[in-house]
Structure formats: C-alpha cells, structure tokens
Amino acid sequence: HIQAVLFDLDGVITDTAEYHYLAWKKLADELQVPFDRHFNEALKGLSRMDSLKKILENARPEPSFSKEKLSELADRKNEYYKELIRQISPADLLPGIHNLLEDIKERGIKTALASASKNAMFVIDRLGVASFFDEIVDAARIQHGKPDPEIFLTGARKLDADPAFCIGIEDAEAGIQAIKAAGMFAVGVGTPENMKQADFLVEGTQDLDFEKIESAFLLKNK
C-alpha cells in the first residue's frame, strides 16, 4: 500500500507558479530578452539559477554575465517574487488540496513537501498548512535540481518510506521526470503534452481525489 505522498508546491498546492512567471517576466522585460508563458512551462520546477540561465540562453545574442551579475539578477527576480507572495493566505490553497491533505492524514499516510523553492516554508506557513507535512525538504541542501530525483528521494528517506510505495504530485514536466527517476508513482496536474511520463493525470487540482489516485497506483502495481 501507499506509504507516503510527496508534494510539489508551486502550481500544485497554490498558484505561485503564476507569480514565478510574473517575476521572471518583469526581469526579462528589463533585460529586453524574450520570455513568454509558453517558454515559462520549461522553467517550472527548475531552481532559481537554472531558470535564469535558461532564459538567458534563449536570447539572441545570448548575453554573457559574470557570476556576480547572475546572482544579482536572480536576487532581483526573487525580490519581485517575494513582493507577490507577501499577501498569500489560506484562501490561496488550490481547489481540492485541503481535502486531499486531510484524506491522506486520516489514513495515516506520511507526507513531505518536495519543492525546489527556497521560499517554500514562507508560502506553506502563509497558507496555514505547515502542520500537514511530516517533512519539508530544504531546497538549499539539494545538490541536483529536478529532473534529478534527489529531492524526492531525500523526502522519501526522511519519511523512512520505500520509493516504490510513494506517490509524487507535480505540475511540471521536470518534476514528473524527477518522480519517475526516483522510482515513484507520478501524478501530474496539467495537460498531456507537458506530462508525458505521468502515471495518472488530472486537469486541475480539484480532480486530485485520493481514492482515485490509490486505485490507479494499485492497478499499476498489480
């Protein structure tokens, strides 16, 4: 049976994926490099610096910045982002998430937050759901970002759970790849073209029904 559920944060628990987009957009406009929602899909789940590098690589000619400049730009984006998340409240939980967390808790199944965001703790606190998580993986201690499985494997290890009996929930292609590379069952929130490797796919968080996820998991592991 299922031992643990590992959650992505941005775009799964709350719509901060939109705020990340807006903050990057503001920075990209200032730098006069192209950036749009379509390109943003490829950034979802990536660390702050990996995201910045991808945006710059996409520009023609590709700007070449010193390490110091890169870190200043990443900090600037983070300041824009922090401004946007200041007002987050429990009303910003995405539909179905509170129920899902309760259903999981009631069954005695463990949960971890596996977000690449260094702002994760702040967001989870503002949303009022910190107590639902048995473990929150510290993004600052992760060496290899998604699609590497490290963050999901770290979460499972902290929970003392076998990855083969873990579920990961993600809205990003890089995240789904990380879950699969960790040997877990991947639940995707989004459209099929961004979630090719997902074991179970829903269009929106309102469709994240624990019993349905469990049935799909059991069917796959029969």
Which residues are designated catalytic?
Answer: 8, 10
> Per CB under 5 A, does 150 bind Mg ion?
no
- The nearest distance, CB 135 to ligand G6P, in angstroms, is 17
- CA gap 5, 9 in Å, rounded: 13
- The nearest distance, CB 88 to ligand G6P, in angstroms, is 13
Q: Which of 6, 7, 8, 186 binds Mg ion (CB under 5 A)?
A: 8
> Per CB under 5 A, does 195 bind Mg ion?
no
> Per CB under 5 A, does 168 bind Mg ion?
no
Q: Which of 4, 11, 16, 97 binds Mg ion (CB under 5 A)?
A: 11
> Per CB under 5 A, does 214 bind Mg ion?
no
Q: Which residues bind ligand G6P (CB under 6 A)?
A: 10, 17, 20, 43-48, 51, 78, 115-119, 139, 172
Phi-psi region of 61 (alpha: psi -120 to 50; beta: other; left: phi over 0): beta
Q: Helices 16-31 and 67-85: crossing angle, nearest 10°?
A: 140
Cα 8 to Cα 81, 111, 154, distances in angstroms:
18, 11, 13
- CA gap 121, 77 in Å, rounded: 18
- The nearest distance, CB 12 to Mg ion, in angstroms, is 6
> Per CB under 5 A, does 147 bind Mg ion?
no
Is the peptide bond between 163 and the residue preceding it cis, with omega within 30 degrees of 0?
A: no
135-136 and 185-189 beta bridge pairing:
unpaired
HSE of 185, CA atoms in CB hemisphere, 13 A: 21
- The nearest distance, CB 43 to ligand G6P, in angstroms, is 6
Q: Which of Mg ion, ligand G6P, none binds 180 (CB below 5-8 Å, type-dependent)?
A: none
Burial of 121 (0-12, 13-18, 19+ CB in 10 A): middle
- Residues in contact with 151: Cβ distance below 8 Å, sequence separation at least 6, in sequence order: 114, 115, 116, 137, 139, 142, 145, 178
105 is in an annotated binding site: no
116 is in an annotated binding site: yes
Considering only the stretches 21-29, 50-58, 169-177, 208-216, report the one whose residues sit in contact with Mg ion under the rule CB under 5 A: 169-177
**Residue numbers belonging to the annotated binding site:** 8-10, 24, 43-48, 51, 77, 115-119, 146, 170-171
Binding site as annotated, residues for Mg(2+): 8, 10, 170-171
- Binding site feature residues for substrate: 8-10, 24, 43-48, 51, 77, 115-119, 146
